[in-house]
Each structure stands twice: as C-alpha cells, then as structure tokens.
C-alpha cells in the first residue's frame, strides 16, 4: 500500500493557450516533495496532472495506489500556479473530494491554498502547508505515523511550523511560520523516475524537434516588484552550489539525454560569481547543454553575459515589463529602461536569444506609456515576447491599492483570460486587442528581418500579420474611448 500519493492541480488540458503551445514540463516542486518524503522512508507515488485529460485520471490513481495520505503539492516553480487560475482551483477541489471519498487524509500545499485556506478546508482538506512544504510535510507525516527515519516523532500538530489545520471547534489554526531551507544542496534531486519521461520526450520531439527538461538552482527572489506575490518563498533567496547543479545536469544527461534545459528560477545566477563558476564547471565536464533562463536586465553585465554564453545559454528572458520609466518606478521594479536596451545589446553580441515579458494596464499607465513600450520592442527587437495585463494577487502592495475595486472575479479562469479586474485606464476589450496588435506587429517585423532567407513563405506571413496589425490599430482607436466600467471605485492610494 502506498503511504502518499502526490499530485498537483495544474492541468495543461484546461489552459487553452498553453495547451496550444504544447511545451509541457513536469511539476518540479511536486517531484522535490516526493523525493524528500521517499528519502524519509515513505512509499510514494505520483499523479502528473500536467498531461492528464481530466480529474478522472486522479480518481483512477487513487484507486490504483490506495494511499493513506493524498497530497496536492503544487509546483511553486510554475508561475501559473502562483496566478491561482480559477479552473485549476476547481480541479483541486474536485481532487480533494475524490480523495476524501476514498478515506484519504488530504494535505494541500500551494499559493492558492495559502491565500484561501478557508475555501480549501471547506472543500475537505485536512491540512494546509504554509510556505516551503517539504520539511513541514515530513513532520506532519511523522506525527501522523512515524517513519523509520522520523525527524519529528514527538511533535504535536500545534508544534509543527508552517502548518494550518482545523481545530475541534472548526476554527482554523495557523502555526508559527517555517524557516526557509538554506542548504538546498541537502535536498535529494527531484523524483524524475515517477514521471513518464518518454511521453514528454515524444511530445517535445514531435512539436518542436527537441526534448527539454526543467530544473532550478534557487528558491525565492529578493527584489521588491510590488505586483509579485511570494506566499511560498517570501523575500528570501537561497542558492544551490554550482557544483550541485552541475551534478544534477550530469545525472539528467546520463539518464535522460535532454537536448535542452529550462531553468525555472525566478532569478537565475544572482549570487556574485555564481554563473562564472557554473560556466567553468559545465565546460570542464562537457555539459554545455543549450538552456534558457530568467534574468533581470540590470544584472546582465558584460562578464555575466560572457559566462552565460560559455555555459551554453541559448536564451535569456527578461521581465522588461514596460518601456516607460514612470511605470517601472511605480512598480518598484528597481531597474532603468536604459538597462533593458543595454542588456539586449550585450546578449545579441554573443548570440544569445532574447525574450521580453511585458505588462500592460498598470496603475497610471497612459497611451503614451504604451507607445514607449512598443518603441522599446522595435528598438530592442527581442526574439520572443510574453504579454500580460497587471494582475492583483493577495499579499502584494499592488493588490492592496486596488482591493476595493475588485469584484467577484479576482482570478483569471486560464492564462489567456486577460481580464482587467480593477479600474485601469482602458477596458478589458482594449487590452485584449492591444495583445493582438502587439503580437501582430512583432511577428510582422520578425518576418521582415528573415525575408531574404525564405521570401515566398515569409512574404505571406508578413502580409497576414500586417493586415492583423493595421486592423488592431483601428480597433484600439475605437476601444480607447470606450468607457471603463463605472461601478468600480477609484483606488485608494
């Protein structure tokens, strides 16, 4: 009999935009938790929702493994889990119900459960892990049923840090917070053996011609962007040693032969000299597998860019957000527009591709600020872009500023929703059209730059995107004057 069945509630099938892109990665945070509990002597199994068709597959996993404890351990390295998408919340509720029906103790860990404890308890959760979950879960399991490698055999429930549960009077008890794990090298590598790796390989090879795997080198982010929620790792930033990361890459290469790696860190290589050491070790061990990562523009010094190139970096994504310094300052971003330009130039010099994350609709943004962002796109010419509108999440300064404007809809249903949930300068329809307009111009200019290589095919691509671009420009002019919902109150500053 299985002690613990791990699962998570992000189903790629329920997110049309990401399902169409089809670049799936297994739930890394869940794999870490599974490997940690297995190392403590527990028999574990895993349900991977990422490639599942529906919650019914979770039900079949419960029937197959008959676990005593069912753990929904969300992948906290996946930004979509942090967004608390409504469709995934209801998937979690259904999964909790299925587990309770089969007599399981149900434990939940994740951003949404942390922010909405009462709702998850009302749906049947027995325990919620607050903050980093591995050690808290191990102590909870030891308290419920001591293992051969028990780390906390004598703890009572109210002594387990980072745990929330319902008392006998149905009140919610939230214990003292858990300290963050500082020695990340001490954690076992993720339990990749619980994943159908070959299924992922087939999908990647068929759709994209290569196989990509994910890993992380850090936990947390020390920066203060006021729209960024940090319910799991807080403001701390802890780093694995470069040697430990390279050992994992060596293990992945020997066992699974990936063609590409994605580092899922919030900020990659922030610790001084870390990337230089990482580059030295990957070169020395012939482990320069192409990879992509996320970095801030103000960190991309000449030295760091050279080290990234030496380590095999194929693409750097930057949270550029806006081409308006006024908006970056309002976000507490802590970087200059000029630094974005400089970083793009440095990356292009060494042949590293560039991705920009952009955010529209932030408080105080005007049409002139939007135009500055569009001009930055034209000037820097990134290789890819990701576009969103500002999204208020509990626990952030941004959320506090717009809280009184929020209505019943406080989360997107899926990642393509793009609804404005507070009173922005323009309507949701405007920002959705802006999304189309920016992508159309971006694709047009990208095709224009490649025209000489394949003129016949790219000329058609250019024509279609030029038409979309011009149509969207007209629609934006119309939507610009559409009144924003008058029922929303003005945010208190």
Residue 59 has a pLDDT of 98
Chunked in runs of 10, what are the mean pLDDT values of the chain (493 residues)? 95 97 98 97 97 98 97 95 92 98 97 96 98 96 72 79 95 96 97 98 98 97 94 89 98 98 95 95 97 97 97 98 98 97 98 98 96 97 96 94 91 93 92 93 85 64 73 76 53 34
CA distance 384 to 370: 18
- The span from the CA of 474 to the CA of 472, in Å, is 5
H helix or E strand, kind and range, residue 261 = strand 260-263
Domains of the chain as residue ranges with CATH: 4-174 (3.40.50.280), 184-479 (3.80.30.20)
Helix residue ranges, H only, 209-295:
242-256, 274-284
Residue 355 phi, psi dihedral angles, 5° rounding: -120, 140
Joined tokens for residue 491: 């945010």
199 contact partners, CB below 8 Å, separation of at least 6: 51
Residue 25: left if φ>0, alpha if ψ -120 to 50, beta else—which one? beta
Residue 89 token pair: 């919340």
Residue written as tokens 């990340």? 184
Cα separation values, 50 from 22, 80, 126, 435, Å: 11, 12, 24, 26
Q: Which two tokens stand for residue 178?
A: 């858990």
Which residue spans within 327-450 are E strands per DSSP?
A: 353-360, 384-389
Distance CA 489, CA 149 (A): 55
């Amino acid at each position: 009999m299985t002690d613990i069945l791990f699962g998570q509630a992000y189903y790629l099938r329920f997110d049309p935009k990401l399902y169409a892109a089809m670049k799936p990665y297994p739930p890394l945070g869940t794999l870490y938790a599974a490997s940690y509990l297995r190392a403590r002597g527990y028999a574990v199994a895993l349900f991977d929702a990422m490639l599942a068709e529906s919650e019914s597959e979770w039900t079949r996993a419960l029937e197959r493994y008959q676990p005593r404890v069912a753990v929904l351990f969300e992948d906290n390295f996946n930004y979509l889990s942090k967004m608390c998408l409504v469709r995934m919340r209801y998937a979690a509720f259904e999964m909790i119900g299925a587990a309770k029906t089969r007599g399981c103790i149900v434990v939940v860990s994740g951003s949404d459960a942390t922010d909405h404890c009462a709702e998850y308890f009302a749906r049947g959760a027995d325990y919620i892990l607050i903050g980093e979950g591995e050690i808290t879960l191990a102590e909870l399991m030891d308290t419920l049923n001591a293992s051969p490698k028990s780390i906390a055999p004598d703890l009572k429930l109210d002594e387990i840090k980072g745990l929330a549960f319902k008392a006998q009077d149905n009140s919610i008890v939230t214990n003292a917070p858990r300290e963050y794990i500082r020695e990340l090298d001490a954690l076992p590598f993720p339990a990749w053996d619980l994943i159908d790796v070959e299924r992922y390989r087939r999908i990647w090879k068929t759709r994209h011609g290569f196989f990509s795997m994910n890993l992380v080198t850090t936990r947390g982010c020390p920066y203060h962007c006021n729209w960024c929620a940090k319910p799991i790792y807080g403001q701390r930033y802890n780093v694995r040693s470069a040697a430990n990361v390279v050992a994992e890459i060596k293990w992945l290469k020997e066992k699974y032969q990936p063609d590409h790696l994605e580092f899922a860190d919030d900020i990659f290589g922030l610790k001084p000299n870390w990337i230089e050491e990482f580059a030295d070790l990957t070169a020395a061990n012939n482990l320069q597998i192409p990879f992509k990562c996320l970095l801030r523009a103000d960190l991309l010094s000449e030295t760091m860019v050279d080290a990234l190139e030496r380590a095999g970096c194929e693409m750097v994504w930057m949270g550029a957000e806006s081409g308006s310094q006024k908006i970056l300052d309002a976000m507490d971003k802590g970087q200059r527009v000029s630094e974005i330009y400089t970083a793009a130039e440095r990356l292009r010099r060494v042949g590293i591709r560039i991705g920009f994350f952009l955010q529209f609709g932030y408080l105080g943004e005007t049409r002139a600020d939007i135009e500055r962002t569009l001009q930055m796109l034209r000037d820097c010419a990134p290789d890819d872009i990701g576009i969103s509108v500002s999204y208020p999440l509990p626990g952030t300064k941004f959320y506090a500023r717009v809280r009184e404007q929020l209505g019943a809809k406080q989360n997107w249903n899926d990642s393509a929703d793009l609804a404005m949930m507070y009173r922005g300068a323009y309507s949701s329809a405007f920002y959705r059209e802006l999304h189309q307009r920016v992508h159309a111009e971006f694709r047009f200019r990208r095709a224009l730059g490649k025209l000489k290589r394949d003129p016949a095919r790219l000329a058609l691509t250019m024509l279609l995107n030029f038409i979309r671009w011009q149509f969207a420009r007209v629609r934006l002019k119309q939507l610009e004057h559409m009144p924003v919902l008058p029922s929303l109150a003005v945010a208190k500053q």
